[in-house]
Structure 1
Amino acid sequence: MFADDHLSPGAYAPYRDPRDYILSWTDEIWIDRGIGRIREHYADDIKVHTAYGETYDIDHVIQNSVMKMSAFPNGGGGTGEDVVWEQRGENGFISSHRVLKTGTHSGYWTYGAPTGRDWISRTVAHCLVRDGKVVEEWLVRDEYAVLQSLGLDPEVVAADLAAASPVTGELLDLGAGGAFVGKIGNPAVEGVSGKRPHRYLKECELIQNMFEEVWNQRLFNRVNLYCDPKIVSHTVRMHREQTIECYQREIINMLAAFPDGKMEVRDIVVNESPDLGLRIAVIWVMEATYCGVPLYGKPTYSPVKILGTSHYEMRDGKILREWRIYDEIAVMAQIIRARNNTTAINDR
């Protein structure tokens, strides 16, 4: 089945389908520079979840977009690599839009004066659309890759974020908001975006089992049960790995910094199309303690929450490619804040 016949055209009108809706709006806002048209695309009370907290106001979206367009005037909306969408009710759908972004830092940004350098990174916008408007969004960026490209010190930026987020203007508080709290019983049936259609349950189960066995139970030897021998993994900082052995090592390396980390799948989206085949998008959260290898400086033995997303391209029932994205700068900010709090207590 390549389409859901029960989705009302009003959910994505006047576009051809949900994929065209997402890609066309991205171009109209960023390529055509119609920032003000965000009001036509987003609900007034849009709820945006990021690794830095929650916002509930369309004005934040517009203001931040204007600042970003000034800083990166040739950045545009990036290149849409894929839109994995699925129905959510008669008049709605969830869209997981993976974007490869590039640009030149030629204007002032929250990170400071223009560097004149080019940058490249990936972003995933996981958007819930109802009656033609985005009502909720889970936004995940690889911000470390941006800073790496611009030659900026991630430690310095993360230290600033530890006090206040330049994205939301609010205190960094990962304990608040729907991105991290609330229990999900079975995301194959109902996740944070709502109830799924009763289909592709076998594929959802495969992804859930992979997270539970490989990530949570540390059964790295079972990767070959879920992945094609030619598995390709695209991860943060624009890293790319290929083959089962490299895929195993990449997971182990992430867990080495957070050896007690547990993954929770919070949303699953499945889409199959004649041109792109079967793809699965997942929103996940890792809860852990920074008590392992000193990837981000000396361990603080403090709790860390990581909001991430993965896109999977499937072939013959196995994962052929994965794109895994999370914001390492937000992770570092949590660690630095814990380190600063400990120092302040010791100095009393």
Structure 2
Amino acid sequence: MQKFDPLADLDPAAYAPFRDPRDYILSWTDQIWIEKGLGRLGEHYADDIKVHTAYGETYDFEHVLTNSVQKMSAFPNGGGGSGEDVVWEQRGPMGFISSHRVLKTGTNLGHWTYGPPTGRNWISRTIAHCVVQDGKVVEEWLVRDEYAVLQSLGIDPEQVAADMVRASPVTGETLAITDDTPAFAGSYPEPAKEGISGKRPDRFQPECDTIVAMYNEVWNRKRFDRVSAYCDSKVVCHTVRMHRAQGIDGYQQQIIDLLAAFPDGRIEVRDLVVCQSDELGMRIAAIWTLHGTYSGVPLYGPTTGKPVKIMGAAHFEMKDGKILREWRLFDEIAVMAQIIGARPAAA
């Protein structure tokens, strides 16, 4: 296994006053959410931060702050969740990319975007894929499992998705996802060399090639029989709605079930981050998009024959060059909103 010092070429000022980028992310999360130092967000985020979600784009710090106040009121015991992992990699002498996977829990004790308090507990995962430059987060790709939240709170996901057709929860405007939407715009033919977060360091090429090849062969070419070439026999995949699949058969079926709804679906890997440590081994984070036509099985209600765009994030743990664990997230509510918006009744 390739050995290297990930901090060797990174200026300590990029993550000061913390020990390393992992400590930077986890400590800031605790200070803001656990200790409720919400006003310190300005120390952590740039004023003109760009946040990309499956619902749209925002380009200012104030939006992050106001949304955070509302969520802290709705879930006063929720905190920032439990940081499961931080997969990070250098981007220049004063920058790094951090892919932070969080397991979130809380009790809905206050009013929120979706209505009055339900008094119910919820659990879900989030992956925040952030570019940190000169000590501040300047750009973020945020992927939440919003369906799991609504399901836990007893709120109808389809109704929420229908409401989002009229107004995006991010921008407040009519939900409109196009090829020009920044989260989906452009193409990155060699994400192992350069992706949405910038140019990668020249290392871990074989590991990156493995992940890209898996998506191309298993997902895009529908060679589900090739899962065993990329995954350990004991592979475990954690995905949306807190579902879990184990073993080659379970891993295959998760992919088949999603693509059955979008039979022509194709995944494009748009960013890769590789992090190796003696304690946690080899981990790889990916941002991907899936473009497909909702023309297969009616997984999300009656099919439309219309295109759908999905923004997803994944974390992989590798063992002997194969995938041992994967955490795969995408926002099903954003998917459902696109589908509902394409139906004649919605128009």
d(CA) in 2 for partners of 1:325 and 1:247?
A: 14
Query: Which of 332, 343, 348 is 2:345 aligned to?
Result: 343
TM-fit CA distance, 1:343 = 3.0
Conserved 8 A contact 2:127-2:313:
yes
Q: Mapping of 1:48-87 within 5 angstroms?
A: 48-87=51-90
Query: In structure 2, what residue type is equivalent to 1:150?
Result: L
Aligned to 1:185: 189
Q: Mapping of 1:19-38 within 5 angstroms?
A: 19-38=22-41
Query: In structure 1, what residue type is equivalent to 2:212?
Result: Q
Q: What whole-Å deviation, never above 9, does each CA across 1:162-209 have from its counterpart, x for those lacking one?
A: 111223323322224321001112000000000000000000000000
d(CA) in 2 for partners of 1:74 and 1:272?
A: 33
Query: Which of 334, 339, 343 is 2:338 aligned to?
Result: 334
| Structure 2 gap segments, 5+ residues each | none
Query: In structure 2, what residue type is equivalent to 1:134?
Result: V
Conserved 8 A contact 2:340-2:346:
no
For the aligned residues, what is the CA RMSD? 0.9
d(CA) in 2 for partners of 1:321 and 1:278?
A: 11
> Is 1:169 matched with 2:182?
no
- Go from structure 1 to structure 2 and tell me whether the alpha carbon gap of 1:213 and 1:139 turns closer, same or farther (over 3 Å shift): same
Conserved 8 A contact 1:122-1:141:
yes
d(CA) in 1 for partners of 2:145 and 2:45?
A: 23
Query: In structure 2, what residue type is equivalent to 1:109?
Result: W
Query: Which of 47, 62, 82 is 1:44 aligned to?
Result: 47
Query: Which of 11, 15, 21 is 1:12 aligned to?
Result: 15
Aligned to 2:156: 153
Aligned to 2:263: 259
Q: What whole-Å deviation, never above 9, does each CA across 1:3-32 have from its counterpart, x for those lacking one?
A: 241011111001000000000000111011
Aligned to 2:253: 249
Conserved 8 A contact 1:2-1:274:
no
**TM-score normalised by structure 2 residue count:** 0.97
TM-fit CA distance, 1:35 = 1.0
d(CA) in 2 for partners of 1:321 and 1:45?
A: 35
Equivalent pairs, count: 343
d(CA) in 2 for partners of 1:262 and 1:104?
A: 37
d(CA) in 2 for partners of 1:18 and 1:324?
A: 23
Identical positions, percent: 69
Aligned to 1:104: 107
TM-fit CA distance, 1:2 = 4.4
> Is 1:272 matched with 2:276?
yes
Aligned to 2:217: 213
Conserved 8 A contact 1:187-1:268:
yes
- Go from structure 1 to structure 2 and tell me whether the alpha carbon gap of 1:2 and 1:233 turns closer, same or farther (over 3 Å shift): farther
> Is 1:286 matched with 2:267?
no
Conserved 8 A contact 2:318-2:324:
yes
d(CA) in 1 for partners of 2:346 and 2:239?
A: 35
Aligned to 1:95: 98
Query: Which of 310, 319, 323 is 2:323 aligned to?
Result: 319
Conserved 8 A contact 2:73-2:111:
yes
Query: In structure 2, what residue type is equivalent to 1:82?
Result: D
Q: Mapping of 1:103-142 within 5 angstroms?
A: 103-142=106-145
**TM-score normalised by structure 1 residue count:** 0.97
d(CA) in 1 for partners of 2:346 and 2:172?
A: 24
Query: In structure 2, what residue type is equivalent to 1:208?
Result: V
| Structure 1 gap segments, 5+ residues each | none
Conserved 8 A contact 1:85-1:95:
yes
Conserved 8 A contact 1:227-1:318:
yes
Give 3-state SS (helix, strand or coil) of 2:109's partner: coil
